[in-house]
């Protein structure tokens, strides 16, 4: 066994400086501060690990039933057998007959009596002293031993540079005013404590990360995050963006024209967010606003009105969506609204032929195209806007982190900064809004357009499939339409397609008097569009689909949705999917079919979905289940930003950190830079994504 630090592997783990090592905090501890006789260990070590010591009196390597090493140790009180199923020659040597070893593990009943399987082993002198602090167990990656990390961390903690990099920045006055009731250690001692807690430390609090030493570290981390978000906000306000006030001669403006041509009245909520966005647009610094609203709440028309304002001023507006289907849906809607008003629209996606792409790029660059709709193809290098005034980004959290960084870089690299409107149907819980999105203004559409009926959700066993199909038949007989959604099979697109085809065939047979259609991800865009058009025209009554219909479908006469293997879908997906129904005047139904056995988590999920229709509540459940990273589609960046803070557990700290950040920025600007460098270093960039 090697105990030498492996510099390259440690480096790969990011442990390349004393500060990085100091902040590599243990995930748990082992108590090696107590030593028991073998007799005591045999007695009490059954359920939790215990430590004992003895001389090796036998060491055998057996080959049956498989290669393994059996070692027996002995002290004055008893003997104990140790079993190793994998072992190195170095361990054989370490545990040769006659050596004194200290072992730690759980005792269990083997075939030949009590034994420890794979205890941790140390060679020691008979009277070797016990450690006085708990032994840290560090997060590690393959190929790095705990011993190597421990050694590196211990060395790192001794490095004189830490005096400076862990120096106390936070003014005492600020701390005592903000946190009068908390007796937190200084940062330096908090970190030292976490690496080597004394034997009598509150291990429960350490493990749960609620110990004052942890609190101190979490607070500092949140503080860094709050400062950097607040700074981003200040920087944005100093930037320049073209200001777009509402035009005075209303009659001739696109904005007024669009509003007049709409076949419906804006809801109160739409009116309100439209005003908020309008007032952002009329300022001379870039808007950075998130428009939140449940599925079907009518975000698109608000975005279209904002775009119309920008076009009125002779600037371009772009609408970008994370998938072709979603982008295409926007394109069709925008065409319907804007073409009658004489607006020139360009479409750009990865799926275009090279020649069409070039044409679109030329239209964008020359300024001929006023409104540009597409996927992230819009931010590729060969796309140059002539005069971009507004970028609308739909479902922005579904873009990858890299793509989001690219979007930010592109939008800020033009001569001026353009206004940005993000849209999302996934509500962001308050804790997240305060941390990840502190530099974002949020508008919420909390009202659905009139006439929407609540959706009744039913949960049904897959064994009742025949009943579901006969129910479907009477539904269709009433002249209504329906969706049949096939399961998501993440491992295999082919398999997913296959099950969709099977269901399609079965349903075609079972429902001969109706036309059944099939739409899936493998179809070409035109083929998909043709099926969707036929469904919209009621030439198809039942649409069998994979999750491609998650977004972008709007057929009011289709008010029934059956979701097969609903247990394989997440909260957000089902919520988005069922948002496709409930758009017309008929009572809407969503049937969640599940196959058994059902995991506890899936059971709870389906139950919640049946009882709750509020997207905010569902998002909160989702958050507690999956953590913020996944919810925001920021798996990578989320980890990088908050390593020690758990937004659920530590929510109460966020507000304190926010207040501290404000005061620090106002009163101690000199400390801010050092604090950020300490905590974020090169990761600060991710905050912008």
Min CB(589)–ligand ADP separation in Å: 19
**Does residue 293 belong to the site contacting ligand ADP (CB under 6 A)?**
yes
List the one residue from 174, 256, 266, 510 that touches ligand ADP (CB under 6 A): 266
Q: In this structure, what token pair is assigned to residue 426? A: 């996934």
**Does residue 270 belong to the site contacting ligand ADP (CB under 6 A)?**
yes
Min CB(297)–ligand ADP separation in Å: 4
Residue (299 or 605) nearer to ligand ADP, CB? 299
Residue (485 or 684) nearer to ligand ADP, CB? 485
**Does residue 425 belong to the site contacting ligand ADP (CB under 6 A)?**
yes
Partner residues linked to 71 by β-bridges: 59, 82
Segments in 396-492 forming alpha helices (H)? 401-413, 430-435, 465-477
Strands 588-594 and 455-461: parallel
Residue (13 or 425) nearer to ligand ADP, CB? 425
Residue (271 or 630) nearer to ligand ADP, CB? 271
Q: In this structure, what token pair is assigned to residue 173? A: 């006055």
Min CB(447)–ligand ADP separation in Å: 9
Q: In this structure, what token pair is assigned to residue 297? A: 């709440």
Min CB(333)–ligand ADP separation in Å: 7
Strands across the sheet containing 516-519: 455-461, 588-594, 558-563, 481-485, 542-545, 516-519
Residue with CB nearest ligand ADP?
298
Q: Segment contacting ligand ADP (CB under 6 A): 214-222, 263-271, 377-385, 399-407?
A: 263-271
**Does residue 426 belong to the site contacting ligand ADP (CB under 6 A)?**
no
Q: Segment contacting ligand ADP (CB under 6 A): 296-304, 399-407, 592-600, 651-659?
A: 296-304
**Size of residue set near ligand ADP by CB under 6 A:** 16
Min CB(415)–ligand ADP separation in Å: 31
Q: In this structure, what token pair is assigned to residue 571? A: 């909260």
Q: Does residue 147 contact residue 120 with C-beta atoms inside 8 Å? A: no
Where is 592: in which H helix or E strand? strand 588-594
Query: DSSP characters for 87-127?
Result: --HHHHHHT-TT-EEEEEE-EEEETTEEEEES-EEEE--TT
Any residues with CB less than 8 A from the CB of 318 and at least 6 apart, and which? Answer: 371, 372, 373, 374, 378, 385, 388, 390, 391, 392
Strands across the sheet containing 316-320: 345-348, 371-374, 316-320, 388-394, 419-424, 288-293, 441-445
The separation between CA 558 and the C-alpha centre of its own chain, rounded to angstroms, equals 32
Residue (128 or 275) nearer to ligand ADP, CB? 275
DSSP state of 584: S
Min CB(374)–ligand ADP separation in Å: 17
Where is 498: in which H helix or E strand? helix 493-510
List the one residue from 271, 365, 554, 677 that touches ligand ADP (CB under 6 A): 554
Residue (552 or 638) nearer to ligand ADP, CB? 552
Residue (107 or 423) nearer to ligand ADP, CB? 423
Q: Does residue 146 contact residue 138 with C-beta atoms inside 8 Å? A: yes
**Does residue 136 belong to the site contacting ligand ADP (CB under 6 A)?**
no
Residue (292 or 637) nearer to ligand ADP, CB? 292
Q: Segment contacting ligand ADP (CB under 6 A): 157-165, 177-185, 291-299, 490-498?
A: 291-299
Residue (160 or 263) nearer to ligand ADP, CB? 263
Residue with tokens 């962001």: 428
**Does residue 582 belong to the site contacting ligand ADP (CB under 6 A)?**
no
Distance between CA 536 and CA 123 in Å, rounded? 76
Residue (15 or 308) nearer to ligand ADP, CB? 308
SS (H, E, C) 512-547: CCCCEEEECCCCCHHHHHHHHHHHHCCCCCEEEECH
**Does residue 296 belong to the site contacting ligand ADP (CB under 6 A)?**
yes
Phi, psi for 465 (deg, rounded to 5)? -55, -40
**Does residue 267 belong to the site contacting ligand ADP (CB under 6 A)?**
yes
**Does residue 322 belong to the site contacting ligand ADP (CB under 6 A)?**
no
Q: In this structure, what token pair is assigned to residue 174? A: 């600020």
**Does residue 301 belong to the site contacting ligand ADP (CB under 6 A)?**
yes
Min CB(682)–ligand ADP separation in Å: 36
Min CB(290)–ligand ADP separation in Å: 13
Q: Segment contacting ligand ADP (CB under 6 A): 4-12, 260-268, 345-353, 399-407?
A: 260-268
Which residues between 619 and 658 bind ligand ADP (CB under 6 A)?
Answer: none
Distance between CA 451 and CA 429 in Å, rounded? 28
Q: Which of 287, 269, 290 is nearest to 278 (CA)?
A: 287
Min CB(273)–ligand ADP separation in Å: 11
**Does residue 584 belong to the site contacting ligand ADP (CB under 6 A)?**
no
Strands across the sheet containing 120-123: 107-110, 113-117, 79-84, 68-74, 50-62, 100-105, 120-123
Min CB(311)–ligand ADP separation in Å: 19
**Does residue 521 belong to the site contacting ligand ADP (CB under 6 A)?**
no
List the one residue from 22, 101, 273, 295 that touches ligand ADP (CB under 6 A): 295
**Does residue 300 belong to the site contacting ligand ADP (CB under 6 A)?**
yes
Which residues between 455 and 474 bind ligand ADP (CB under 6 A)?
Answer: none
Q: In this structure, what token pair is assigned to residue 546? A: 């994979």
Residue with tokens 């590690």: 140
**Does residue 292 belong to the site contacting ligand ADP (CB under 6 A)?**
no
**Does residue 424 belong to the site contacting ligand ADP (CB under 6 A)?**
no
Distance between CA 375 and CA 327 in Å, rounded? 6
Distance between CA 119 and CA 626 in Å, rounded? 34
Q: Which residues of 157-175 are buried (b: 16+ CB within 10 A; e: fewer)?
A: beeeebeebbeebbeeeeb
Residue (292 or 546) nearer to ligand ADP, CB? 292
List the one residue from 49, 412, 449, 521 that touches ligand ADP (CB under 6 A): 449
Min CB(448)–ligand ADP separation in Å: 8
Residue (254 or 291) nearer to ligand ADP, CB? 291
Q: Does residue 54 contact residue 109 with C-beta atoms inside 8 Å? A: no
Where is 283: in which H helix or E strand? none
Min CB(426)–ligand ADP separation in Å: 11
Q: Which stretches of the chain bind ligand ADP, using CB under 6 A?
A: 264-267, 270, 293, 295-301, 425, 449, 554
């Amino acid at each position: 066994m090697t105990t030498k630090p492996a510099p390259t592997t440690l480096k790969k783990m990011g442990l390349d400086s004393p500060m990085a090592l100091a902040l590599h905090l243990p995930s748990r501890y082992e108590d090696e501060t107590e030593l028991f006789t073998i007799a005591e260990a045999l007695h009490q070590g059954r359920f939790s690990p215990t430590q004992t010591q003895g001389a090796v009196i036998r060491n055998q390597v057996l080959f049956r039933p498989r290669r393994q090493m059996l070692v027996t140790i002995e002290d004055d009180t008893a003997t104990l057998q140790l079993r190793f199923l994998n072992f190195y020659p170095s361990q054989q040597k370490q545990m040769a007959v006659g050596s004194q070893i200290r072992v730690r593990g759980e005792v269990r009943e083997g075939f030949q009596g009590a034994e420890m399987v794979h205890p941790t082993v140390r060679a020691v002198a008979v009277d070797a002293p016990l450690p006085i602090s708990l032994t840290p167990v560090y997060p590690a990656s393959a190929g790095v031993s705990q011993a190597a990390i421990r050694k590196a961390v211990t060395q790192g903690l001794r490095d004189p540079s830490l005096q400076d990099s862990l120096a106390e920045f936070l003014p005492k006055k600020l701390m005592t005013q903000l946190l009068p009731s908390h007796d937190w250690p200084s940062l330096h001692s908090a970190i030292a404590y976490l690496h080597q807690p004394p034997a009598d430390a509150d291990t429960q609090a350490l493990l749960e990360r609620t110990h004052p030493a942890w609190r101190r570290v979490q607070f500092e981390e949140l503080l860094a995050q709050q400062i950097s978000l607040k700074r981003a906000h200040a920087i944005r306000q100093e930037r320049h963006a073209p200001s777009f006030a509402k035009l005075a001669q209303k009659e001739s403006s696109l904005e007024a024209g669009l509003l007049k041509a709409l076949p419906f009245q804006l809801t109160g909520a739409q009116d309100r967010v439209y005003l908020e966005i309008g007032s952002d647009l009329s300022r001379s610094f870039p808007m950075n606003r998130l428009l939140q609203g449940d599925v079907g709440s009518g975000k698109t028309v608000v975005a279209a009105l904002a775009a119309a304002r920008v076009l009125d001023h002779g600037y371009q507006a772009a609408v970008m969506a994370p998938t072709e289907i979603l982008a295409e849906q926007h394109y069709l809607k925008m065409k319907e609204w804007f073409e009658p008003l004489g607006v020139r629209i360009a479409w750009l996606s990865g799926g275009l032929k090279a020649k069409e792409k070039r044409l679109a790029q030329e239209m964008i660059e020359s300024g001929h195209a006023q409104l540009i709709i597409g996927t992230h193809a819009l931010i590729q290098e060969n796309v140059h806007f002539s005069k971009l005034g507004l970028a609308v980004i739909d479902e922005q959290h579904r873009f990858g982190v890299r793509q989001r960084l690219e979007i930010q870089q592109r939008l800020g690299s033009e001569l001026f900064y353009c206004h940005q409107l993000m849209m999302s149907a996934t509500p962001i819980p308050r804790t997240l809004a305060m941390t990840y999105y502190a530099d974002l203004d949020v508008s919420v559409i909390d009202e659905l357009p009139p006439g929407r009926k609540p959706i009744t959700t039913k949960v049904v066993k897959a064994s009742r499939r025949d009943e579901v199909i006969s129910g479907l038949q009477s539904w269709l007989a009433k002249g209504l339409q329906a969706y049949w959604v096939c399961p998501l099979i993440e491992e295999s697109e082919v398999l997913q397609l296959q099950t969709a085809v099977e269901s399609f065939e079965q349903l075609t047979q079972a429902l001969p008097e109706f036309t059944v259609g099939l739409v899936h991800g493998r179809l070409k865009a035109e083929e998909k569009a043709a099926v969707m058009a036929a469904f919209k025209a009621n030439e198809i009554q039942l649409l069998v689909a994979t999750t491609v219909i998650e977004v972008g479908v709007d057929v009011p006469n289709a008010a029934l949705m059956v979701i097969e293997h609903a247990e394989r879908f997440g909260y957000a997906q089902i919520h988005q999917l069922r948002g496709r129904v409930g758009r017309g005047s008929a009572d809407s139904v969503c049937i969640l079919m599940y196959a058994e056995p059902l995991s506890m988590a899936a059971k709870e999920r389906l139950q919640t979905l049946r009882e709750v229709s509020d997207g905010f509540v569902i998002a909160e459940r989702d958050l507690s289940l999956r953590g913020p990273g996944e919810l925001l589609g920021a798996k990578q960046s989320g980890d990088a930003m908050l390593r020690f803070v758990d937004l659920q557990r530590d929510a109460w700290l966020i507000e304190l950190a926010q207040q501290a950040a404000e005061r620090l920025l106002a009163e101690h600007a000199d400390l801010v830079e050092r604090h950020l460098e300490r905590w974020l270093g090169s990761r600060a960039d991710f905050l912008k994504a």
